[in-house]
Amino acid sequence: MPYTVPKLTDYSAATLERAANECLSACTAESREVRTDAGLKSFRDRWMARKNGILNQINDRWLKGAPQEAKREAGIQVNALKARITELVEGAHVSGAGALDNECLDISLPGTRRPLGAEHPVVRTSNEIVSVFAKLGYSVAEGPVVESDYYNFEALNFPPNHPARDTQDTLFIAGQQSKPPRERLLLRTHTSPVQIRTMEKMAPPVRLVIPGRVHRNDPPDASHSPMFHQIEGLAVDTNITFGDLKGTLDHAMKALFGSSVRTHFRPSFFPFTEPSAELYVTCFICGGSGKRGSDPCRPCKQTGWIEVLGCGMVDPNVFEFVKDNGYDPKRVSGFAFGMGVDRLALLKYGVDDIQLFFQGDVRFLQQFG
């Protein structure tokens, strides 16, 4: 018996669903019986014809006939059913013996190309940095992107109301006014909370790199994005000195940018390190001359130096928060550093707009494949 659209006895969700399922299985069965091109045409007409196709009848009987209070639910069901039927009918093809009559195989046609994916330039840069430190014996740690105020600020020596918090425009999760301030959730503004989380779990010595996504309330422009990536490093042991910090980072920069780069530390301030420094490397684009031919070198602003990261000796106040796990500031010392991966990727690949990394335009990303 060919399928005919039944009249519905009632318009409950269960009845509608049963009717829709019957209709779908009828359509599926008919689509499998199509053996010739003519059969395919009449199958399509039977279901989709504008005047008296089955889809049209469903519209008339199930939707227009529905009482006012059931119209909404019936509309949703009928629309979903129509989408499935349309998909089935459009995807139907001649099958069985009939298919062989109509088909022939042209082995000279090119095959279906299945393009391989590739690492995103930011991910690739991040992996390169991680692998330099992995060779030095650092392990990789990760942590949550939605973080509490305690881990993002307080345990890193940013006390409540400290002005240094203003330097990190923070995106807070809404509706938490009733919670105590240190438990309020935010999108982490740096990967540093993972330092505390790891020190809570692991006794010293530790050597860690922490790659990850961070957020700040920066309006997007060519060099800012509300979402970006950092890599943070932490080494804690007995007798770690600023000399170890300099030696480690000098080696890492040479491994990343070539053995001819020189490094240079300038004093800076971060709440969680003391003393703190910014690390500069000789510009790997102009070789430190500040010029490209007769043109000025833009990436280093003609200075010949590029700032790549912030670093310093872990502030003893930070160790106080994890003192019970073996981090007695009188006994252990350590250094930490953090860098922006996206910025390094921009410099490395000569890209002049950070937004390009996150717009997902395959024409742009393909260049790095």
Binding stretches for Zn ion (CB under 5 A): 283, 285-286, 297, 300
- In sequence order, the 6+-apart residues with CB closer than 8 A to the CB of 259 are none
Q: Which of 299, 305, 301 is nearest to 266 (CA)?
A: 305
Nearer to Zn ion, 156 or 300 (CB): 300
CA distance 196 to 189: 14
CA distance 78 to 248: 66
Angle value at C-alpha 254, between 299 and 131, nearest 5 degrees:
100
Write down the least CB distance from residue 298 to Zn ion, Å.
8
DSSP 8-state assignment for residue 62: I
Write down the least CB distance from residue 300 to Zn ion, Å.
3
Nearer to Zn ion, 35 or 254 (CB): 254
Write down the least CB distance from residue 159 to Zn ion, Å.
39
Write down the least CB distance from residue 296 to Zn ion, Å.
9
Nearer to Zn ion, 8 or 285 (CB): 285
Nearer to Zn ion, 70 or 300 (CB): 300
**Which tokens go with 358?**
């996150």
Write down the least CB distance from residue 339 to Zn ion, Å.
18
Per the CB < 8 A criterion, the answer to whether 188 and 214 are in contact is yes
- In sequence order, the 6+-apart residues with CB closer than 8 A to the CB of 349 are 121, 368
Nearer to Zn ion, 35 or 292 (CB): 292
DSSP 8-state assignment for residue 211: E
Write down the least CB distance from residue 247 to Zn ion, Å.
25
Nearer to Zn ion, 62 or 284 (CB): 284
Find the farthest-apart pair of alpha carbons in the chain and give their distance in angstroms, rounded: 89
Nearer to Zn ion, 201 or 291 (CB): 291
Per the CB < 8 A criterion, the answer to whether 279 and 249 are in contact is yes
Q: Return the residue matching tokens 């996504």.
A: 213
Query: Count of H helices and E strands in the chain?
Result: 13, 11
Write down the least CB distance from residue 346 to Zn ion, Å.
14
